[in-house]
Structure 1
Amino acid sequence: MTRSGQEYLASLRDGREVWLDGERVQDVTRHAAFRNTAASIARLYDLAHDSEYTQRLTVGGVHRAFAVPRSYEDLLARRTAYKVWAESSFGFLGRTPDCMAGGAAGFAAVPNLFTTDTFDGADNVLAWHRRLAEGDLYPTLTLTNPQTDRTRAACEQEEDDLVVRVVAEKDGGVVVRGAKMIGTAGVFGNEVIVGTIEPLAPQDVEQALCFSLPVGTPGLKFVSRTSYEGRARSVFDNPLSSRFDENDALLVCEDVFVPWERVLTYRNVDTTFRMWWQTPAYVNFVHQSATRFWTKLEFLTGIAILLTKANNTYQLPQVTQVIGGLMGKVAQAKAFVLAAEASYEEVDGGRGGVMPGREISLAQRIMAGELYPQAVQDIKLLAGGGIIQLPASAEDLLHPELGPLVRKYIRSPGHGAEDRIKLLKLAWDALGSEFAGRHEQYERFYHGAPHIYLMQQVWEGNTDSCESLARACLDGYSLGEETADR
């Protein structure tokens, strides 16, 4: 049975070690930097637990993201669930519980991959997936090594604990030390999976492991970036950042004990990398993120339409053209999701169900990283200076002396000052605030650096068919051949 929002919030009061601005946060559900976002995530759980969307979000008593899809219809049902949650945050919560839930289902679809000559993690993977699904837990992930010296292997850095590695082996498990970066939403999760999605060098045996632990495990330390929620003046002034700041944190492991049953891969460079790419896990990530991205572009395009209507420019041909371009971007984002589903592939000969088509899924990363900055730029141009010249806060509207002045000068025909300011503050939070800047950078690098995913597209794509088609044309004529009926 899925959890209620209150049950989710209660699960976060587990003594987890979260640091912000040099102070330890005692309770993320009550702290001003985290409480509203925690409440927004709790609302997702309520939607699944008991609402008009429950049947769309769950199957067999668990969230659909945890279920291994067995057919094309299952993929469509899972995407419908993704869409409901994405719309709840207008696409601004990226690593919601359904993200890594889909990854866990991807591992469970091919458990034999985790059986190696160094460690057999197959049973652990299945037990982990079952524990997450049946407990309706929020799994988060930290997979990126700190940006230290990228010219050296993980084991060859200046200090031997810069990257998470095993420092001791015991009868009941291993002790790990080191760090991982960009733990998005880690402070809001129940479990954190620590692994490496980037390739390791053959000598990185001590760094070649993947494990999952409760976020409150002793020795796990989350060092939070600036909280945009904490800096928000009010929901009226900062409608997005005050409620949907999923946060990013540096994860530091200080001699953390990991029981063997929590280990998924161990001392195997190849499997620690392949678990993301040769199971449906990563493609499942893309299915969730592509659905969210499509939703986010719909929302931004909606802001553009509202802005131009408020400015009485919506009917101008040059403005209509820009809106048309934005609608085209929304259609592209949608098309990638539908095409990936339609080109679905069997997993492990059908024994592991099905997954969205790999080639289209990986290509979505290229489209999204390029499209998002373009869309933001287009809407900024439509917005003009209105999103800059805004009252500092809602208090100006309520002030007996300033209120009448603001209401007189910041309005447009058919749009009173309060409604106009409300819209412009929403637009600024989405397009120009520090929160918005984080999202633009986030979407650019959501799936990694371009120099990596562009090369991978060549490896994964069907370059032979492209080459063959061009070769067929070349082979269809020769030197000296005359055209018919010159």
Structure 2
Amino acid sequence: MTRSGQEYLEALRDGREIWLDGERVKDVTAHPAFRATAASFARIHDLAADPALRPVLVENGVHRAYAVPRSYEELVARRRAYKVCAEASFGFLGRTPDHMASGAAGFAAVPSVFTGEGFDGSEQALAFHRRLAEGDLHCAFTLTNPAEGAVRVVEERADGIVVRGAKTVGTGAVFADEILVGTIEPLAADDTEHAVTFAVPVDTPGLKLISRTSYEQQARSVFDQPLSSRYDENDALLVYADVFVPWERVLTYRDPATTAAIWWRTPAYLNFTHQSATRFWTKLEFLTGLAILITRSNGTDTLPAVTQAVGRLLGAVAQAKAFVLAAEASFEEVDGGRGGVRPGQEISFAQRIMAGELYPRAVQDIKLLAGSALIQLPAGGRDLLHPELGPLVRAYVRTPGDAAEDRIKLLKLAWDALGSEFAGRHEQYERFYQGAPHVYLTMQTWAGAAGDCEALARACLDGYDLETVK
């Protein structure tokens, strides 16, 4: 069953241990650092109740992201659901509930991968997928290890395990119902204490979430910071202080090979990429729309150089869209078809390269189109409302095409997307969204069609020899 936004918010009031700037946060739905973003996630849950959107978002009573696609058409249907969710935040919420939902569906497609030499987590993997789908739960995940003190098993009991340590970059974890903890990078064959995957509720005793600076809390108003005030999904350090995990929530255990394989031998990671590529496409659409509005407001939209720059941005949008459609069209069977289908691996992996390199260029291009207009802005909407300052601002900040209030509103939105601290986080986020470049570029060398490329070049070489020399 799908949940309403209000039901989602009520579930967040569970006593979870969130820390921000030395203060324990009692209620993320009420605290000024988190409440507006929590409300944004709630609105995404409410989308399923819209009669016009429900057929797109819901299949057999659960969110479509949880479905294991069996055909190209079902891949397309899932992407349409991703698109609706992405547009709700203009692409700025990267870890919406459908993200981990797609990963859980990947696990459920090939549960046999969870059967290792000494531990069988296949039933737990299926139960994890079923629990999230039936409860319409928002699950975050943490796969990145700190330089020291990564989560490890410190005790084994009859009823479960005890883990200790930390995980970093817990994006959206503050707003989640559960956290999936694992390791995606290869571990040494003898590093069994770190080779564990499990899922726990955020209110689990001993689990502390230490939040980074909240851009939402720093925002003066929605008018002044329209994105950071509502779509700051936050990132947190998660510390596990001897946390007990029941066996029924353990997916892999003391098995480095299986702990890594669940991401690469199931469709989980490619499902992630399908969802994130759809969100990235949506985000570029939004940024390009901003560029068009800014150039019109500046009165520069008909200049040849500006028209060409906008054309380049529109080309980038089409490129981002093309990767999504091509990954779907190049779909591959999973486990001989028994696990349905997944997006094509070669195109999906290549999308990571494109997105990490394209986003910073797009931001830079839009900044150039905006020019100094982004710098000389009134401090806030209060200036417009002030009885003495308001008339002055309205007289001197307007343009022939825009009244002062409309122009300031547009440029405040642009600065929040392009130049604010929130914007800087997003540029770095998109650069490393799918991992570090040295990782995904190396992976592309074996996932890409290197053999075909080499064969074509070799065919040309083989077509002539020294006898052609006269």
Quickly name the TM-score band, shorter chain normalised: over 0.9
Quick check: 1:145 aligned with 2:145?
yes
For 2:432 and 2:384, how far apart are their aligned partners in 1?
39
Q: Which residue in 1 is equivalent to 2:93? A: 93
Q: How big is each residue's C-alpha offset from its partner over 1:102-139, in whole Å with a ceiling of 9 and x where there is no partner? A: 00000000000111121000001111110110110011
Alpha-carbon distance in 1 for matches of 2:30, 2:110: 40
CA distance in 1 between partners of 2:141 and 2:373 (Å): 39
Structure 1 length-normalised TM: 0.96
- Tell me whether 1:356 sits opposite 2:343 in the alignment: yes
| 1:72-116 superposed Cα distances (whole Å, 9 cap, x missing partner) | 000000000000010110000000000000000000000001111
The answer to whether the aligner puts 1:425 opposite 2:412 as a matched pair is yes
1:52 Cα deviation after fit: 1.9
How far the C-alpha of 1:482 sits from its partner, in A, is: 5.5
Say whether the 8 Å CA contact 2:296–2:401 is kept in structure 1: no
DSSP 3-state at the match of 1:319:
helix
What runs of 5+ residues in structure 2 fail to find an aligned partner? none
Q: Output the CA distance in 1 between the equivalents of 2:279 and 2:3.
A: 22
The CA distance in 1 between the partners of 2:350 and 2:283, in whole Å, is 18
In the TM superposition, what are the counterparts of 1:30-69 in structure 2 within 5 Å? Answer: 30-69=30-69
Q: CA deviation at 1:203?
A: 2.3
Equivalents in 2 of 1:389, 1:53: separation in Å? 41
Q: How does 1:419-458 map to 2 (within 5 A)?
A: 419-458=406-445
Give aligned-pair identity as a percent: 72
User: CA separation in 2, counterparts of 1:19 and 1:203?
Assistant: 35
CA distance in 1, matches of 2:49, 2:407: 36
Matched, 1:399 2:361: no
Q: Does 1:329 align with 2:316?
A: yes
Aligned to 1:71: 71
Q: Secondary structure at the match of 2:468?
A: coil
Per-residue Cα deviation, 1:232-282 (whole angstroms, up to 9, x for no partner): 000000000000000000010000000000000000000101111111000
Q: Distance in 1 between matches of 2:54 and 2:374?
A: 38
Q: Which residue of 2 aligns with 1:154?
A: none
- The correspondence of residues 136-285 of structure 1 with structure 2, limited to 5 A, is 136-146=136-146, 148=147, 162-285=149-272
| Alpha-carbon separation, structure 1, partners of 2:256 and 2:447 | 21
How much has 1:174 moved relative to structure 2?
A: 0.2
In 2, the alpha carbon distance for the partners of 1:49 and 1:190 equals 20
Q: Distance in 2 between matches of 1:293 and 1:432?
A: 19
Partner of 1:16: 16
Conserved 8 A contact 2:162-2:243: yes
Letter of the 2:254 partner, please give it.
R
**Preserved contact between residue 221 and residue 229 of structure 2 (Cα < 8 Å):** yes
Q: Distance in 1 between matches of 2:189 and 2:339?
A: 29
Shift of 1:459: 1.6
Report deviation, 1:198. 1.0
Q: AA paired with 2:183?
A: T
Q: CA deviation at 1:414?
A: 2.3
Q: Report the equivalent of 1:461.
A: 448
Mapped to 1, the partners of 2:48 and 2:60 lie a distance apart of 12
Structure 1 residue runs without a partner (length 5+): 149-156
Hey, what's the Cα distance between the residues in 2 that align with 1:347 and 1:49?
32
Q: Does 1:310 align with 2:281?
A: no
Count of aligned pairs: 470
Deviation at 1:51, TM superposition (A): 4.0
Rounded to whole Å, the distance in 2 between the matches of 1:443 and 1:204 is 31
Give the drift of 1:49.
2.9
Paired position in structure 2 for 1:103: 103
Note if 1:112 corresponds to 2:99: no
Contact conserved, 2:299 with 2:401, CA < 8 A, in 1? Answer: no
